[in-house]
Amino acid sequence: MAVFKGWKIWVLSAIACLFVIVTACQSPRPVAQPSSPSPSPESSPVASPSISPALPPPVSEPPPIVSRERLMTDLKALNFERYTAAELQKTRAYIAQTLTSAGWTVSEQPFDTGVNVVAERPGIDPNAGVVLVGAHYDSVRGSPGADDNATGVVAALEVARLLGDLKTLRPLRIVLFDQEEAGLVGSYAYAQRPDNLKNLEGVVILEMLGYSCSTPGCQQKPGEFKVELPSDRGDFLAIAGDAEHLPLLNAFSDNHKPNLPPLVSVSVPFKGLLTPVVLRSDHTPFWFEGIGAVMVTDTAHLRNPHYHRRTDTPDTVDPTFLQGNTQTVVNAVTSLLDRPKSFRTVNDQES
C-alpha cells in the first residue's frame, strides 16, 4: 500500500473535490438495465453496457475452492524485494509463467516508469461489462513485501486459476500493477488509457490479505471512519467501496460464508474526499474515472507491525487467514461475473 506525503494527500483530495463538484453539476447518469439497448459507438468509454437479454443465463455452480498450498507456494516464490528493475522483471516473469500455465494469454503495458501485466478471457455475452481483479506487485525498498503486496498477487493468481475456464456472462480481466508504492503510478497509467476503460464495469483491488493478530488492542481504526469493528483484534477482512456502486461492495457480504474470516464493509462517499486515508491503493484512479471499485484489505499499518519493514516475510503471514480471504474474493467475483444488472447504485439501494 502506497504511503503518500502530505501534499499528495491534498492533491488527491483536491482532485476528488473537483470531481464531486463537476459531477454535481451534471445530469444524473442513467442506470443500465438488462433489457436496455447496447450503447452506441459514440457512448462514453466508461458507460455501463447492457447484458443481451436473449442469451440464456450460465449454469450456476458453487464457487471453486481455494488451495492454501498453491497460495503459499506462490508467496514463497515471491519472497524477495521487488523494487529494482531486475527484481520487478523477475516478478513479471513469474506472474506471466503462472498465468500462461493456467491457460491465459498475457500481455504487458509499459508506461514511463514501469510495466503493468494484463490477461483477459471473454464472457458469454459480448455486451457485458468486464470485471477486473487487480493487485500491485512492487514492494518498497528494503522490504520483501510478503503481505504488502505479495498476498494480493498470489490471490489474484489463484482467482485466475480457478475462474479462467468458467463460462460466465461477463469477461474477467487480471491486472498486476507496477509502481503502486511510488504513488499509484501504474494504476493511474492504466486508467489514463481509454481502451482500458472501455466496457469496464467493476474493479476489485487486492491490497494485503494475509496478516491477522489476536492480541487485544492490536487492531487500530482511523478516526474518520464511523464503523463498528467486530473486536479490537485483527481477525477480519475489510472491504471499502464507493457509494455509487453498492452492488459491487455488497457482493462480498451477500456471498460470504460463516466459516470464513469476518467482513467489515465500508461505503465511501464523495470518492474518498472526506477520508483520504482510503485513497492509498489502486482503486483510486478508477474512482476518479467514475468506475466502481472496491479495495479488499487486512487494513495494512492499522494492524501489521511489519508494514514496509524487512520483517514483512512469508512467515508472518497467516496461511489460513490468507486462504479464507482469497475464498471470500473468489466467491464475490464469481457472483459478479454472472450478475446481469449494472453495478451502479439505484436510489441508494442495491439494484
Average pLDDT over residues 338-347: 91
Phi, psi of 191, rounded to the nearest 5 degrees: -70, -15
CA neighbours closer than 13 Å in the CB half-sphere of residue 17: 8
Structural domain boundaries in the chain = 73-222+236-337
Provide the grid cell at 190: 492504466
Q: What is the pLDDT of residues 260-302, one digit of tens each?
A: 999 999 999 999 988 888 999 999 999 999 999 999 999 999 9
Question: Is the pLDDT reported for residue 15 higher than 60?
Answer: no
Say if CB 155 and CB 208 are below 8 A apart.
no
Confidence of residue 19 (pLDDT cuts 50, 70, 90): very low
User: In angstroms, rounded to a whole number, what is the distance separating the alpha carbons of residues 106 and 277?
Assistant: 33
* CATH class of the domain comprising 73-222+236-337: alpha beta
Pairing of strands 172-177, 200-207: unpaired
Residue 195's Cβ-count burial label (10 Å; 0-12, 13-18, 19+) is: exposed
Is omega for the bond preceding 79 within 30 degrees of 0, making it cis? Answer: no
What's residue 52's pLDDT?
57
How many CB atoms are closer than 10 A to CB 206? 27
Phi, psi of 239, rounded to the nearest 5 degrees: -125, 120
What's residue 10's pLDDT?
42
Q: What is the pLDDT of residues 77-131, one digit of tens each?
A: 999 999 999 999 999 999 999 999 999 999 999 999 999 999 999 999 989 999 9
Out of 120-129, 172-181, 340-349, least confident range:
340-349
CA neighbours closer than 13 Å in the CB half-sphere of residue 319: 12
Q: Which of 73, 92, 101, 82 is nearest to 160 (CA)?
A: 101
Confidence of residue 196 (pLDDT cuts 50, 70, 90): very high
Out of 19-28, 188-197, 199-208, least confident range:
19-28
Across the beta sheet with 106-111, what order do the strands follow?
106-111, 114-121, 172-177, 130-136, 200-207, 292-297, 237-242, 263-268
Q: What is the pTM of this model?
A: 0.85
